[in-house]
Structure 1
Amino acid sequence: MNDTDVTADAATLPEALRLSPIEARVLGSLIEKEATTPDQYPLTENALTLACNQKTSRDPLMDLSSGEVGHALRQLETRQMVRSQHAARAQRWEHRFTQAYGVTSQQQAVLCMLMLRGPQTLNEIFTRSERIGRFATVDEVRHALERLAQRNPVLATLLPRTAGQREDRWTHLLCGPVDMEAVAAAARPSSAGAPTGLLGRIEALEARIAVLEARLATPNPDARV
């Protein structure tokens, strides 16, 4: 097994289920907004582009064009992972993630967090998925991840610790095997030493900002000037 590839010996996803990084960001954003801004869901292509490019609750940050998001949507639609709705004012998009991958709502929630924010610890996933997964305890997060890791093909895996990391981290495998050198290079050492209380407050602020950004993305026809 290659030391830089933690999934070299595991069965990989069929090509039809494997995602590009942009497709993963699109699906993750749709799943997130369905839970956090249900009044705006399904999303227009413009609102979805803004969700993909959020400066909060995203890692890595992306600067996708509407054309890139539109292309990803068409690719996902051909594989029945998203579905469009033709409303009176604009075409809107919804995900079909649970149907495509055969996962539970809690498994979908942890995969959503991993698609949007990269490798994370159990506590990070538990805190960040509060409005999506409805987990009562960290153990429920662990159970969901372990079930994903036991599937064939595997959808999530526990990463070996890199230098300076105090806790184990999990990652998804929807985009294929993980390159550990890239994961280590992308790790942010400042987050490891942040106090738990401070992280919680930051997460709460990020969630509020994300909701406001989503509301601004879709004009309200009832709003008065």
Structure 2
Amino acid sequence: MQLNPLEARILGALIEKAVTTPDYYPLTVNALLAACNQKNNRNPVMSLDEPTLSTGLYSLQEKRLLEFYSGATARVLKYRERLTDELGLAPDERAVICELLLRGPQTPGELRNRAARLHPFEAIEEVQATLARLAARESGALVTELPRLPGQKENRFTHLLGDLPAEPEAGSAECPPPAALAAVIEDASRTAALEERLAQLEEQMAALREQLSVLQEHFDAFRAQFE
């Protein structure tokens, strides 16, 4: 399973909101867009638009990691993630994977503090035990340990659901947005523009077919006068 940065952000946001705001879950497109672009609990901070988000939603549906929901009283489609069920994650494992999807590589101490809103870890040893289980899964490791950064006392961990992150420069407080993300967003924008153009052409073709049908009817009626 390989996720690009856009897909990782969408799934992370959905997992987070399923736990923290269950009354509003599944999420509408507008709610999901706000969750992906929010400035707190995100690294890097993104500025996605709806066409880009739609591209990510489509690719996740193709991977069967996302499903849309439309209840009897629902006026708009709502989306929920299937990654948790697909991987069979326990609540503590779900919390760790969610944080790694939303923020990238982190130390066990950082994960304990940041994942508290998703699952209570009483001690750092509990986080380490969760990471150990995720790294030793028989079906394939979901996390791996990264080399320790200068000045840090703990090694960082990252998820294995996508490409390994590039090492940040020394002294950098946060990882800059990866080049892969920029490429994904650029491709998504280009795809959205092409899809919009295709939709316009299809509308024009439908109008031409309708006009041709009307002309054919007039011609048949005219010819019938001489038969």
When normalised by structure 2's length, the TM-score is 0.70
Distance 1:21 1:170 in 2: 17
Query: Aligned residue for 1:112?
Result: 98
Deviation at 1:68, TM superposition (A): 1.4
Query: 2:152 matched to 1:165?
Result: yes
List per-residue Cα deviations over 1:77-127 (Å, max 9, x = no partner).
122211111142211011112222232221111010011011111111111
* Equivalent position amino acid for 1:113 in 2: E
List per-residue Cα deviations over 1:42-89 (Å, max 9, x = no partner).
100111011111111100111111111111111111222111111422
* Equivalent position amino acid for 1:96 in 2: R
Query: Aligned residue for 2:46?
Result: 62
Aligned-pair identity (%): 43
Q: Could you tell me whether the CA contact under 8 Å between 1:34 and 1:42 is conserved in 2?
A: yes
Give the unaligned 5+ runs of structure 1. 1-16, 191-225
Q: Could you tell me whether the CA contact under 8 Å between 2:146 and 2:157 is conserved in 1?
A: yes
Query: Aligned residue for 2:162?
Result: 175
Distance 2:170 2:17 in 1: 26
The list of structure 1 runs, each at least 4 consecutive aligned residues, that deviate by more than 6 angstroms after superposition, is none
Deviation at 1:187, TM superposition (A): 6.9
* Structure of higher CA gyration radius: 2
Q: Could you tell me whether the CA contact under 8 Å between 1:97 and 1:108 is conserved in 2?
A: no
Query: 2:110 matched to 1:124?
Result: yes
**How many aligned positions are there?**
171
Distance 1:170 1:27 in 2: 19
Give the unaligned 5+ runs of structure 2. 175-227
What SS does the aligned partner of 1:94 have? strand
Distance 2:106 2:151 in 1: 14
What SS does the aligned partner of 2:112 have? helix
Distance 1:71 1:95 in 2: 15
What is the 5 A alignment of 1:15-54?
17-54=1-38
What SS does the aligned partner of 1:93 have? strand
Deviation at 1:184, TM superposition (A): 2.3
Query: 2:139 matched to 1:155?
Result: no
Q: Could you tell me whether the CA contact under 8 Å between 2:149 and 2:155 is conserved in 1?
A: no
Greater relative contact order (Cα < 8 A, sep 6+): 1
* Equivalent position amino acid for 1:169 in 2: R
Deviation at 1:139, TM superposition (A): 1.5
Q: Could you tell me whether the CA contact under 8 Å between 1:107 and 1:144 is conserved in 2?
A: yes
* Equivalent position amino acid for 1:167 in 2: E
Distance 2:83 2:92 in 1: 12
* Equivalent position amino acid for 1:55 in 2: K
Deviation at 1:186, TM superposition (A): 8.5
* Equivalent position amino acid for 2:32 in 1: L
When normalised by structure 1's length, the TM-score is 0.71
